[in-house]
Structure 1
Amino acid sequence: MITGKNYIGQELSALGETTFKTFNPVLNIENKTEFVEASPEEIDKAVTLAASAYMPYNQKSGAEKAAFLNAIADEILALDDLLIETYCSESGLPEGRAQGERGRTVGQLRAFADLVAEGSWVDATIDTADPNRTPAPKPDLRKMLVPLGPVVIFGASNFPLAFSTAGGDTAAALAAGCPVIVKSHPLHAGTGELVASAIAKAAKATDMPNGVFSNLNSSDIEVGVQLVQHPQIKAVGFTGSLKGGRALYDLAAQRDEPIPVFAEMGSVNPVIFLPEALQNNGAKWAKTYAGSITMGSGQFCTNPGLLFGIKGKELTDFIQQLSDEILKVEPSCMLHPNIIGAYEKNKQTALNQSGLMVAAEHEGDVALNFARQTVTVVQGKTFLENGKLHQEVFGPFSMIVECENTAQLQTIIANLEGQLTGTIISDGEELSQYPQVIANLQTRVGRIIFNGAPTGVEVCPAMQHGGPYPASTDSRFTAVGTQSIKRWVRPFSFQDWPEGLLPNELKRENPLKINRLVNGIVTKTTV
C-alpha cells in the first residue's frame, strides 16, 4: 500500500504542509495518491538517525551487509505486480521496461552483496615493520577503505528503479557501510515509497540499525538543498541534468566542510562513422541507430545525440537511410509533460540555429506526451563555431555533423565537452588509419565503444559510467558496476597499531581470507 508518507528510518511520517501527486503521462491525468513533502524537522530527524546508525552499521560484517542487500532484493521481488503497475502509471514506460529495470535493480543489489561477502574490495594493504632499517626504522603500516558516513542519493527521473531508491548509488553506498537518505524523485514517488518499504522491511529483518535508510518526498528543490547543506551528510549521489548536478556540486563546495558530489549529468555520446563502414554496411547501421536514438523515447543518458562522418557519397547515403529508418519507428511516451515540454523547447532552440537542417522528423499525429523523433544535419565548420549545437537535447533527437575531412573531424572531437561514451563504427583495417581521432576521443569520454551503440550499460566490474566534466563531476569514478562502491569510501591507515584492535581485514592471520597486498605481493596468506 502506498501512503504518501516519508520513511524516517522505520517510521512513516507526514509532518509537512506541501503535498503533490505523480502523473500518468499515457493517460494524461494525475495519479490519485497525495504525497507529503518532508518538513525541515523530518529532514533533520532522518539525518540524525543516519548519523547515529553509522557506527553500528559500520561494525556489521561483510556477510551481514550482504544479507541485508539480498533481503532488499527479495523484498522488491515480493512487491510483484503492484510495483510494476505503479512504475508504469508514473512513468509512461511499458511493462517490459519495468520488468527489465526491476531485474537490473535486483541484480545490482545481489552483485554488491557478493562483493562485500567476499571482502577483498576494501583494498587491504600491509607494509610490515623493519626496526633494523637505517638510517630510520620502518613502521608497520596497514591501510584499507572505510565508509565516508551518511550520504544522500537523489532519485533519477528516467530510471525509477535502477537509478533511484534502491538503485546503483544506494546499493553501492549501503555495501560500503554508509547509511543512505534518498531524496525521492517527484515523478515516481509511489514507486519510490514501495521500494523504500522493501528496504525498511529488509533492514528490520536483518537487524540493521534504525536510520540506515530513509526516503524523503519532495516536489521541488528545497528538501535536496537542506540535505546537501546538513553538516552530518558526508557525500551526495546524483543522476540528472547538468543544471541540477552543478547546483548541488556548488552547494556542497560552499559548506564549512565541503563534501564530494558524484553527479552524472548527461551526455551527447558522439558516434564516428568511418567511410568504409558506411559503404559496406550503411543500411545495417542506419537501422541500428534509428533504434538506439528512439529507445525509451531517447530518455537515456547514453542516447547517441551526435553522429559524425566525413563528407562523401557514403555519408550522404547513410543520412537518407537513417532518415528512412527513424520514420518507421512509432513515437513513444515521454516521462512527464514537463519533460516533453523541455524536449520540444530544446529541440526548437537547436533548430533555430543557423545552418542546421532537418533530415527527418515524424510528422504524423501523436498522442499527448508522445515525442516526435528528429534527425538533423549540420556542416562541421558551423558545428565548431556554434557551441549551442553541442548541447544535449534530452529525447529522441540526433544531429549528424558532416566533416570536410579527417583533419576537421580530429579538431571537432578534440573540442567536444566531456562525454560518458564515444563510439567508432569501422570496417576491416580502416580503424588503424585514424589514430589521432581515436586518441582525441579517448580524452573526451569515459568509455569508448567499437561497432556498437551506446544505449545499454552492462552492470559489471569493468564498466565505466562517467566521464570528463560535464558528463560527471569526477571522472575517476563509475556510477555503474561494483567498482562504484569506491565513491563512498576513503583510505585509512593504522600505524604500529595493536594487533588485537585492528579490523579483521588487516589482522596478521587474515581471518576473512581476503586478497591483500602484503609488502608488494597480492596474497591471502598470514603476514
Structure 2
Amino acid sequence: MASAPVWSVDPRTGKQREQVAVEATAQEVDAAVRAAHAARGGLADRTVRAAFLRSAAAGLDAARDGLVETADAETALGPARLTGELARTTYQLRAFADIVDEGAFLDVIIDHPDDTATPPIPDLRRYKVPLGVVAVYSASNFPFAFSVAGGDTASALAAGCPVVVKSHPDHPGLSELVAKVLRRAAAERGIPEGVLGLVHGFEAGVELIGHPLVAAAGFTGSVRGGRALFDAAAARPVPIPFHGELGSLNPVLVTEAAAAERAEEIGGGLAGSMTLGVGQFCVKPGLVLVPSGAAGDRLVKSLADAVGDTDAGVLLDHRMRDDFIAGVAERAQLPDVDAPVTPGAGGEHSVSAGFLTVPAERLTEEGAYDLLLEECFGPVTVVARYASEAEATAVLSRLPGNLTATVQVSAEEAAGQGRGPELLAELTPLAGRVLVNGWPTGVAVAPAQHHGGPYPATTSTSTSVGGTAVERWLRPVVYQNAPEALLPAELKDDNPLGLPRRFNGVLER
C-alpha cells in the first residue's frame, strides 16, 4: 500500500490548492488504531470525558473563522451555511457532555437476591461499557457535523470509545485542522492525543475496517461504498457492528385535499427543500407524489416558478457534478418523463436545479423506470402524478427504506378526518422519521431525534443524531454475586455517583 499526496481542491475551479497530508500506509493505520486503543483509559472517568467534550466544543468555537474559511474553500458550501453547521457541531458536543454527566445512558439495573422467586434470583448488577476503538468514515456533504468532530465521533467519545477517523477527500485540510483542535482539547484534560486518530486515503479506509482492534464503525456516504464496508465488517474473523447511512429517496405524498387547499405553498416549500445546499442533503425529498388534476397542476407550476428562480450552484466535487449531469440526463430520456425545469450543467463548474415529472403509473411495476426510484445526489426531484389513492399506494409499496417520509395533508385531514391516520400508518414502515406538513431537510439535534431508517437508508436500527446515538458504541454486561468491594462504582448499592438506575425493580432518579 503506497502513500500519495493528499491535496485540498477548490470545487469552484477543480484546481488543487495545497498539499495537506499524505495517504496513510497500512503501518500508519495500525499505529493510529493502536494509539487510540492505548488511550481508552483516558476516557474512563466520566467527569474528565465530559470536560473533554466541552473543551473540544470551545476550541472549535475559538477557531471558527479559520475553520469556516478552510471549509468553504474546500466545499463551496458558503460561510453562512458552514457557520451554522459548526454551531450545530459544537452544540452537539456539549449536549453529549451533558448526557455523560447525567449517566442515564449506562442503563444501571440492580437486583438483589430473591430466594422466593421461581427460579431464585441471584444478585445481578447490569450496566453498559464501551465497545472499544470506533472507526468513523467522514461524509462529504457535512464537513463539520458528520465528519471529524461530527455526530459519530461525539457519540463514540461520549460512550468512552476512542476514535480513528478516515477523512473525506473533499475536505482533507479542514479535517486536519479539526483533528488538531480535538487533540489539543484531549491534552488539556490529561487524555492522550491518540484518543482521536486521523487517516487519509481509500486504502487506509479499507485497512481501518479490518483492523483487529477496531470494535465498531460509523459511516455516512454512498450505498456502494457503505455496503462494501458493511460486508467487510461482517466478513472479519470477529465481525463488528457497522452503523452506516447509505442512501435515501425521502418520499413525499401530497394528498388531493392538501393540494386543493395550499398548492402554491407546498410547491414553494418543496422547491426550497430540494435545492437547499444545492440538493446535497441526505434528507432531500427525491420523489414527490402529487395528484393529477387542476390542484396538482397549480402545485407543479408553483414548484417550476420557484426552482426556475434558483441560482446555479457548485457541487462538492467534479465527480459528483459529472454523476449528477449523467444521472438526470438518463432519467430525462425515459418515455413520458418531462422536465418543466431542466436540471443539469449550469456552467463550467456549476449545476442548475430542476425537476422531472412522470405519470405515477409508470412507477408501479419493475422496469426501466426503477431508475426514478433511486437517489440522485444534487438539486433534482421527481414529481410523480397519481390518478388515484391506490396508484399512490402502489408506488409507495415499491420503495426501499428511507431516512424520512413526508405527508402533506389538509387542515381537515390533520384533524383526524379522512385518511390522515391511515396515511401515517402507511408511511411508518418506510422511514425512521415521518413528517406531517413539513419538509425533511434540517435534522434537529434533540434527545428525541432519530436519524436512521430501514435499509438502505441505514444498516442498523440506531440513530446518528440525538442523544440515543451513544447506544451504538456500548454493550451490556452483568455481574452476578460479585462482592461489593469488587464492583465498579456505578453498580454499588449506595450509588456514590448519583446515577439514574433501576434498583430492585424501582426506577430511581
User: Which of 239, 244, 264 is the equivalent residue of 2:225?
Assistant: 244
Which residue of 2 is the match for residue 372 of structure 1?
Answer: 352
Which residue of 2 is the match for residue 78 of structure 1?
Answer: 62
Tell me if the contact between 2:133 and 2:162 (Cα under 8 Å) persists in the aligned partners.
yes
The 2-side partners of 1:31 and 1:350 are apart by 35
Counterpart mapping for 1:46-445 below 5 A: 46-54=32-40, 56-60=41-45, 62-130=46-114, 132-133=115-116, 136-218=119-201, 221-361=202-342, 366-385=346-365, 386-431=369-414, 432-434=417-419, 435-445=421-431
Tell me if the contact between 1:293 and 1:398 (Cα under 8 Å) persists in the aligned partners.
yes
> Which one-letter code corresponds to 1:289 in the other structure?
L
The 2-side partners of 1:69 and 1:368 are apart by 42
The 2-side partners of 1:192 and 1:125 are apart by 40
Per-residue deviation at 1:69?
0.4
SS in 1 for 2:468: helix
RMSD: 1.6
The 2-side partners of 1:135 and 1:65 are apart by 42
> Which one-letter code corresponds to 1:59 in the other structure?
A
Structure 1: give runs of 5+ residues left out of the alignment.
Answer: 1-14
Which residue of 2 is the match for residue 461 of structure 1?
Answer: 447
Change (3 A) 1:135 1:176: closer
Tell me if the contact between 2:340 and 2:357 (Cα under 8 Å) persists in the aligned partners.
yes
What is the number of equivalent residue pairs in this alignment?
A: 503
Structure 2: give runs of 5+ residues left out of the alignment.
Answer: none
User: Which of 17, 23, 26 is the equivalent residue of 1:40?
Assistant: 26
Query: How far does the alpha carbon of each residue in 1:344-374 deviate from its partner, in whole angstroms, 9 at most, with x for none?
Result: 12212222333322121268x8343221111
> Which one-letter code corresponds to 1:153 in the other structure?
V
Per-residue deviation at 1:519?
2.7
The 1-side partners of 2:200 and 2:392 are apart by 46
The 2-side partners of 1:287 and 1:127 are apart by 57
SS in 1 for 2:172: helix
The 2-side partners of 1:393 and 1:134 are apart by 58
The 1-side partners of 2:275 and 2:39 are apart by 44
Per-residue deviation at 1:440?
2.1
Per-residue deviation at 1:494?
1.0
Per-residue deviation at 1:135?
5.7
> Which one-letter code corresponds to 1:467 in the other structure?
G
Choose 407-416 or 227-236, whichever is displaced more: 407-416
Query: How far does the alpha carbon of each residue in 1:294-353 deviate from its partner, in whole angstroms, 9 at most, with x for none?
Result: 100000000011101222211122112211111011122111111111111221222233
Choose 506-515 or 157-166, whichever is displaced more: 506-515
Query: How far does the alpha carbon of each residue in 1:28-49 deviate from its partner, in whole angstroms, 9 at most, with x for none?
Result: 4211234211111111111111
> Which one-letter code corresponds to 2:406 in the other structure?
T
> Which one-letter code corresponds to 2:358 in the other structure?
V
The 2-side partners of 1:99 and 1:135 are apart by 60
> Which one-letter code corresponds to 1:328 in the other structure?
D
> Which one-letter code corresponds to 2:361 in the other structure?
K
Per-residue deviation at 1:172?
0.2
SS in 2 for 1:309: strand
TM-score, normalization by structure 1: 0.92
The 2-side partners of 1:193 and 1:293 are apart by 31
> Which one-letter code corresponds to 1:263 in the other structure?
G
Tell me if the contact between 1:58 and 1:147 (Cα under 8 Å) persists in the aligned partners.
no
Choose 157-166 or 510-519, whichever is displaced more: 510-519
Change (3 A) 1:134 1:332: closer
Q: Percent identity?
A: 39
Query: How far does the alpha carbon of each residue in 1:391-429 deviate from its partner, in whole angstroms, 9 at most, with x for none?
Result: 000000000111121112122212211000011111122
SS in 2 for 1:20: strand
SS in 2 for 1:417: coil
Choose 22-31 or 84-93, whichever is displaced more: 22-31
